[in-house]
Amino acid sequence: MNFFTIAVSILIFGFLIVIHEFGHFIAARMSKVKVLEFAIGMGPVVFSKQGSETLFTLRALPIGGFCKMQGEDQDDYSEGSYNSKSKLSRILILSAGAIMNIIGCIILLSAVFFILGVPTSTIDEVQEGYPAFESGMMTGDEILSINGENVESWDDVNLILDDSVESEYSLVVDRQGDRMRFELTSAFDSELDRYRIGITPAREKDLLGALAGGVSQSYLYAKLMFSAIGALISGNASTGDLIGPIGIVGVVGETVQYGAVALLNLAAIISLNLAIFNLLPIPALDGSRIIFVLIEWIKGSPVDPEKEGMVHLIGFILLMALAVFIAYNDILRLN
């Protein structure tokens, strides 16, 4: 773990923390809630600047941040306080950080798609020794259908081709205006441990296509994350599989050698993880605070601030204990 890896990790964490807290900040200001302090980092203040209403601070430890609002953790219903606002406004403020991280993920992945180009249904390469090459398919062929199913994008190709079993396919392509049909059977690729027909797509730089790709990929990543959470809850996964900031630094160190695009993709995954984790109904997190607002909405009166505060305090202590456990496992992995 060298200095460059640590510096890149701090930049990634810092960026994701900034956009998360900025989401809370913007939503609070839109709701006319007074923001007392907007902090990046934790611990001692190393730099501060007083705005017209908000104190902006940079703190020594790059492991978090916060957006301190008037009356947020107090029984304060004065004008400009968090508690004085409607339940809908408070839910928006609490969820805004996660929403910004989701938007950040989409933007980062859209940048990846734009840099690499959006894969199309036109073939860029037909790999020698694989079924597509043996059947006579060529670079420039545009796939129109597979097994009778229309193909309009590379996503359609991926959905139809099954890489888990040997399968027979009938592909109709357009070759310079002529329609041609190819019959082939997928072959096993021992290096990639999956079945393939041996084609790669041509890519084009398309801003709208890149944005659509960013949204689609974010959705796929979210599905994987919820599946992982489900496996953890059901006992099909272990807490030993979790990684924290130290482990992520190790992942950054492995990823950085693959270049900026790989780092952008990793930053997007971390951003989405941060969003989903913060929305879970775990005490001390935004998701738990949203639950308390919903309880207030249902019962028609606020939850006792002392009781809510105690729940969040206990949750925070448990989270810190989990963080120490995960950090210990991260260190063992690095060694």
Q: How far is CA 8 from the centre of its chain?
A: 18
DSSP labels, 11-37? HHHHHHHHHHHHHHHHHHHHTT--EEE
- Catalytic member of 21, 72, 79, 183: 21
CA distances from 300 to 82, 86, 188, 297, 312 (A): 18, 12, 62, 5, 21
Q: Is 37 in the active site? A: no
Give the span between the Cα atoms of 230 and 236, in whole angstroms.
Answer: 8
Contact present, 216 and 155 (Cβ < 8 Å) = yes
CA distances from 147 to 133, 136, 154, 173 (A): 18, 17, 15, 12
Structure token pair of residue 334: 């690095």
Q: Which residues contact 212 (CB under 8 A, 6 or more apart)?
A: 118
Catalytic (active-site) positions: 21
